């Protein structure tokens, strides 16, 4: 489930967010039901917890193949939820599934934050080097920065892989930690 969640996290307006339609699918509710619950509890969702996308942002998502088409959104400009907004959703969507999904989502957000923190020192050093050298090395610095970005979809092993004792669970856990 975590890989499915990780693929649905977008970076918009300086925030890591998830689309309302993706969240509704994960929670097992219709997008309109999710939006209704949010509207009924609007005081719980300030602008830094949730915001509605503009037309140009939706067009950019479609053109970058993040969403297949505008029809995927059901004819509405979607709302997106930040980590805090997703946490707040568990208080308005009170099913056991909503709680379990929220826990999984929070774990993914924490893992992404940890990965970004691991690269901060490297980014700082790269910035210092970039200041020392002239623009002829800009291509090199841009390439290094591109290599440091977190991939959209991590490589994953296909098929069942067991250890010498046939323990699939521990093998899957090890393969997940190797991909980090």
Residue 151's pLDDT band (cuts 50, 70, 90): low
- Minimum mean pLDDT among 28-32, 51-55, 150-154: which range? 150-154
Kind and range of the H or E element at 50? Answer: strand 50-52
User: How far, in Å, CA of 172 to CA of 166, rounded?
Assistant: 11
Lowest mean pLDDT among 18-27, 29-38, 108-117: 108-117
Let me know: does 85 contact 50? Beta carbons within 8 Å.
yes
pLDDT on residue 134: 59
pTM above 0.75, yes or no: no
For 62-93, write each residue's pLDDT tens digit.
Answer: 777 677 777 777 778 889 999 899 888 878 88
Per-residue tokens: 30: 């219709």
> For position 18, what pLDDT does the model report?
92
Q: Residue 80: which of 40, 45, 105 has the closest Cα?
A: 45
Instruction: Identify the band that residue 3 occupies on the pLDDT scale cut at 50, 70 and 90.
Output: low
17 closest CA partner among 78, 94, 101: 78
Separation between Cα atoms, residue 62 and residue 70, nearest integer Å: 7
Spatial CA neighbour of 173 closest among 22, 162, 148? 162
pLDDT of residue 99: 81
Q: How confident is the model at residue 39 (pLDDT cuts 50, 70, 90)?
A: very high
Strands 15-19 and 50-52, bridge-based pairing: unpaired
pLDDT for the residue 89: 87
First to last CA, the chain: 16
Q: Quick one: which of 60, 46, 49, 63 has its CA closest to 20?
A: 49
Measure the CA dihedral 22/26/30/32, to 10°: -50
């Amino acid at each position: 489930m975590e890989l499915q969640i990780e693929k649905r996290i977008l970076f918009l307006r300086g925030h890591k967010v998830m689309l309302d339609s993706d969240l509704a699918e994960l929670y097992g509710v219709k997008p309109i039901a999710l939006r209704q619950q949010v509207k009924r509890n609007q005081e719980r969702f300030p602008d830094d917890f949730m915001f509605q996308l503009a037309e140009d942002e939706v067009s950019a998502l479609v053109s970058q193949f993040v969403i297949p088409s505008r029809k995927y959104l059901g004819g509405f400009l979607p709302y997106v939820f930040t980590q805090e907004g997703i946490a707040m959703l568990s208080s308005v969507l009170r099913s056991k599934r909503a709680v379990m999904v929220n826990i999984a989502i929070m774990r993914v957000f924490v893992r992404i934050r940890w990965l970004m923190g691991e690269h901060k020192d490297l980014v700082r050093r790269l910035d210092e080097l970039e200041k020392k050298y002239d623009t002829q090395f800009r291509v090199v610095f841009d390439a290094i920065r591109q290599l440091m970005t977190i991939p959209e979809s991590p490589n994953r092993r296909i098929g069942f892989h067991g250890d010498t004792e046939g323990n699939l669970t521990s093998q899957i856990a090890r393969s997940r930690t190797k991909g980090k």
